[in-house]
Amino acid sequence: MECLGPKCAELLLQWLRDRAAEGSGGPSPGGEGDRDRGRTVQGMLWSSVPYNDEAPAIRSEAELEGAFEHLEYAVFRRFENQLTRAERARLDNTIRNVLYKIERYAARLPGPEGPEVERRRRLIQEAVAEAREKAERLRLQARRADLKLAQLDSLSPEGFEEFVAELFEAIGYEVDRVGGTGDEGADLRVTRNGLRGVVQCKYHKKGVVGSPELQKFLGTIHHTGCHKGFFVTTRTFSLAAERFASDHPIELVDGPRLVELVREAMGPGATKEPEPAWF
């Protein structure tokens, strides 16, 4: 368990003074009450022990707390980070192993303690199942986006919009398709971690996107009350358009950037295909 800040340092220093006083046989600077306080602080600072993956079983409450801390960290790292296939497999094994050991430990506890430990274990197990289902859904969306990436030169504008929607979903956004008549330049609305964004999809086979289109899009961002806008195209942007976007909440996504986003969604270890011929 990690303890940070000046308060922790003060408590640790007091505990060290108490231990030194006990070794010399003399009273601690603060008296008997401070010595008892030091013992209490020691218990607070080291209420768990590091989890040992090689140990066959959990043997104490301190080891149990260490196992829960290790499990929560492993779950976070497994489902909130971009990992290689080997890293994912290693963390999956760790999660299964810790859950099994906690289940065995809970079964040996007397009275109401066992059911409480099992309740904590089940909550984490359910969170793992939910995170795994979400990760698999995003993985499939990323694969569909990757397949469409090589076919963009043959997509219709509607197909391109669908591709962009799947791509934003694959990188963690919630997507609402609002394109069509009266869309006011907003083809998609996206949200992630409190950020509200609007996406305009422009399927261009020739030419560049200039600043007049971005000026109009800025009005859409303000009108929809969004924090940011994403202007997505298969082509490139003019220098004037790039300068305009740098001064406003607009992210430009051109052909090469689309490839980068698909690779990001696929994760480490994805096969690097030749870049599409349309840029």
Q: What is the DSSP string of 227-250?
A: SEEEEEESSEE-HHHHHHHHTTTE
The pair of three-digit structure tokens given for residue 40, joined into one six-digit string? 């209490």
If you average pLDDT over residues 17-25, what whole number do you get? 59
Phi and psi, residue 192, nearest 5°: -160, 125
Q: Give the residue with greater pLDDT, 95 vs 13.
A: 95
Report residue 99 CA to chain centroid gap. Answer: 22
Structural contact between residues 200 and 186, judged by C-beta atoms closer than 8 angstroms: yes
Residue 270 DSSP class: -
pLDDT band for position 82 (50/70/90)? Answer: confident
Specify the DSSP element, H or E, that contains 120. helix 113-149
Residue 34 has pLDDT above 70, yes or no: no
> Which whole number is the average pLDDT over 45-64?
82
> Taking residues 64-73, what's their average pLDDT?
92
Q: For residues 214-234, b (16+ Cβ closer than 10 Å) or e, as one string?
A: beebbebbeebebeebbbbbb
Interatomic CA distance for residues 17 and 10, integer angstroms? 11
DSSP state of 276: P
pLDDT of 23 reads 54
**Tokens found for residue 204:** 């261009």
Report strand pairing: 188-192 vs 195-202: antiparallel
240/231 Cα distance (integer angstroms): 15
What's the pLDDT band for 279 if we cut at 50, 70, 90? very low
Q: Supply the DSSP string of 42-102, one letter for each residue.
A: HHHHTSS----TTSSS--SHHHHHHHHHHHHHHHHHHHHS---HHHHHHHHHHHHHHHHHH
Going from the N-terminus, what domains does the chain have, and what CATH number goes with each? 6-140 (no CATH), 156-266 (3.40.1350.10)
List Cβ<8 Å contacts ≥24 apart for 121-125. 124/68, 124/71, 124/72, 124/75, 124/99, 125/99
Q: Note the pLDDT tens digit of each residue in 152-189.
A: 667 788 888 888 988 898 888 999 988 654 456 789 99
Report d(CA 195, CA 173) in Å as an integer. 9
